[in-house]
Chain A
């Protein structure tokens, strides 16, 4: 089975722009979670989607949003980018929410200039 794929792998944007990142879960997995990883804060949970519905949300401003499509693929969007949004954005999939094991993709490295 193919693993979790994320596109693009690298992205450079400027302050004030918006960005959309994409995640394709492992085939058959219906739950997708998004995380932000920075050197200072580590891995922080953004949100979780299942059956096209957001089930859980971390403590991030409303500029961070996401959605999930009927094929379980997910996108996250960050509007009005700030320098502090520079990070590795990871998505992870599992069969259903609450599964003990989730599988991470390679991440999208976002740099905001």
Chain B
């Protein structure tokens, strides 16, 4: 069966450290993978997109990697700040133009 798993439901890290979130998938052939941020009571906000033929993408303090052999994406936030505390969702877009989401990782950055 198809599955998208995000490594942990919750992750706590100290301010200033690098947060690393994992997204693993099985039985999908993604055209690309996206990462979203969701704050309580709000809809997800798009952060980054990485295509199947790309290994790494960066945007300011964010970095995403995509390994289609391992079927895994890693999402890094460097120099984390308390304002980065939120739930982060990965989503796969398939060739059939459907978007499938993971259940998210709730990140808490402790001052």
Q: Which residues of A contact B (CB under 8 A)?
A: 4, 33, 35, 41-45, 56, 58, 90, 92, 97-98, 100-107
Contacts and interface: CB of A to CB of B under 8 A. Distances in A.
B52 to A, nearest CB: 13
Nearest to B42: A106
Contacts, number: 43
Nearest to A38: B103
Interface stretch (B10-18, B43-51, B62-70, B71-79): B43-51
Interface of B: 32, 34, 41-46, 49, 89, 91, 97-104
A107 B97 contact: no
Given A45-B100, A90-B43, 19 more contacts: A33-B99, A42-B102, A43-B44, A43-B91, A45-B98, A45-B99, A56-B97, A56-B98, A58-B98, A90-B44, A92-B43, A101-B46, A101-B49, A104-B43, A104-B44, A104-B45, A106-B42, A107-B41, A107-B42
Contact of A100 (B44, B49, B89, B102): B49
A106 B40 CA distance: 10
